[in-house]
Each structure stands twice: as structure tokens, then as C-alpha cells.
Copies of this chain bind each other. A is one copy, B any other.
Amino acid sequence: MKFRRSSRLVDLTNYLLHHPHSLVPLTYFSEKYQSAKSSISEDLTIVKETFEQHGIGTLQTVPGAAGGVKFIPQVKLSEAKQFIDELCELIEKPERLLPGGYLYLTDIMGDPSIVNRMGRLFATAFSDRKIDVVMTVATKGIPLAYAVAGQLDVPVVIVRKDSKVTEGSTVSINYVSGSSKRIQTMLLAKRSLKEGSNVLIIDDFMKAGGTINGMISLLEEFRAKVAGIGVLVETEGVEERLVDEYISLVKLTDVDVRERNIQVMQGTYFQLVKDKDKEIGED
């Protein structure tokens, strides 16, 4: 049975959206739709133009026998700005203040559509790095880590702070929590990370960076490399920041518990992503 173009476009779009960063040979589609490769190429041109026009992403075409097409999710700079501004507005509501100066972010991190949009932003920022796996620490960073990993088509590994979990033998390290200065332990199942992996570290919150430094030390034990660091919220004003190179969406500039005032601004996202966006054209 042959498929009409209109039907092919709908299914092609669905397939590509579910297989980001995967190289798909054109023969896969021409067999699936019983259509000539030339027709599939025309379909892909339409998909590419629409994806770029609507800020969904782009298609990369790899020529040759081992070639094919790859969908790269790319959020436009204008959309990223709007989304981060929305996030800032959400986060600076005074009712988020918890005792101890903590912020209640459970509702934001509990909304899959918001978390998936965050994931697309990080996937945009790190789209041209070589990444084999996304790492996070239990528990609050997990949804964001999956959202990023899903858009990069890589697995997630989860570092634990307790050893009650049954995952076989583990590698553990001690680290100093940056803000409380206490010594803590974190561990990772031996089986879960291959030696030499390129690892993107994702977390929800970074104060002085102690937890992220702990993850970096843990990676050394696995002879793995840090391919990038992304956090949702960073705090400003910590005397010594332990981690230097990272991308944050939101920066917490001031939390005044007495006055019930929270001040936030854009994080470091646009410092890295600015140039990349020009390639796919801003509207």
C-alpha cells in the first residue's frame, strides 16, 4: 500500500519527534511508506522548513550509503527568552518561601509540560556536544534529567545519597556540601556507567556547587568525562563557587525571608546559546 504525501508528513513528523538525535536512513522511510526516495526527500524538506519556521528544531542530512536524516530539537532564542521570563515570574512569588529560606518548587517540577520545555532548552544548549549519558542526583533533579536525556536520545544514571537502594555493587565518594560544609556520601551503581563515557550533569538547584562537584569526583572514579553541566536554578552571592562552567536557566539573586521577597533573573543560558540560534534564523 502506498501512502499519500499528507499522511506521510504526519507520520514522519511523529517518528522524528520521537527519535531526536538519531540517524534514520532514508530507506527506512521509503520502505515504511512504499515510496520513492525522491518523494521522501521532498517530504523531509517540507518537514525541515516547518520545523525551523516554528522553532521546533532542524533536520540534518548526512549523505552517502551510511547516511540519513537526524532531527535536532532547537528552541528559538525568542521562545527561550519568553519561557525563562515566565519561569522567573513563577519563581519569584513570595508564597514560595519556606522556613530556612528554601523555595517551594514542587509544583513547577511536578508539571511534565514545563519540565519538558526545560528539557528542550538544555537539549538545544548542548546539542553539538558529544554526550553519552545524563547524570543527576536523587531526587528532585530526576524529572529534568529525563526530559533532557529524552531530547538527546541518551540514557540517565541516578546518583544516590543513601545506600538503601538495590542496584548491586556501588562506587561511593565523600564530598563536602558547599553550603553546609558537612561531609556527605554519594554513590552510583557500578554497572550503570561505562568507563570513558561523556556525561552531561543535570540538577534542579545549585548553591555553592558542592553536590555537582561531588558528581564530578564520582565521574573520575569511573574515568568518565564531564560533557556539560546544566541547572535549573542557581543562587548568586555565594563567596566561592566551586563549579565554573555551567548553564542555568534562572538565577536567584536575593531571598529575603523577613520581607518575603524573592528576586530572580535570567541565568547563564543566553551566554552560550546566543550564537547558535543565528544559524537557524530568528524571526
Residue ranges of A at the interface with B (Cβ–Cβ < 8 Å): 5-7, 9-11, 13-14, 17-19, 46-47, 49-51, 53-54, 56, 98-100, 102, 104, 106-107, 110-113, 115-116, 138-140, 142-143, 146-147, 149-150, 153, 155-158, 160, 162, 165-168, 189, 191-192
Contacts and interface: CB of A to CB of B under 8 A. Distances in A.
Contacts of A50: 6-7, 10-11
A100 B166 contact: yes
Contacts of A110: 155-158, 192
Given A17-B17, A112-B155, A156-B112, A10 B51 contact: yes
Nearest to A188: B106
A9 B47 CA distance: 9
A52 B9 CA distance: 14
10 contacts: A5-B6, A6-B50, A10-B47, A13-B13, A104-B189, A107-B191, A110-B155, A138-B138, A139-B160, A146-B147
Q: Of A18, A113, A115, A160, which is in contact with the most chain B CB atoms at under 10 Å from its CB?
A: A113
Contacts of A192: 106-107, 110
A106 B150 contact: no
B150 A113 contact: yes
A17 B167 CA distance: 34
B11 A14 contact: no
Q: Of A6, A7, A18, A107, which is in contact with the most chain B CB atoms at under 10 Å from its CB?
A: A6
A10 B192 CA distance: 37
A98 B189 CA distance: 12
A111 B166 contact: no
A112 B150 contact: yes
Contacts of A9: 6, 9-10, 13
Contact of A17 (B14, B46, B47, B166): B14
Given A10-B51, A104-B191, A140-B165, 20 more contacts: A7-B49, A9-B9, A13-B13, A13-B14, A14-B17, A14-B51, A14-B56, A19-B113, A98-B166, A100-B166, A110-B156, A110-B157, A111-B155, A112-B146, A112-B150, A112-B156, A113-B153, A139-B139, A139-B160, A146-B147
Nearest to A120: B18
Contacts of A160: 139
Contact of A156 (B13, B104, B143, B191): B143
A107 to B, nearest CB: 7
A187 to B, nearest CB: 13
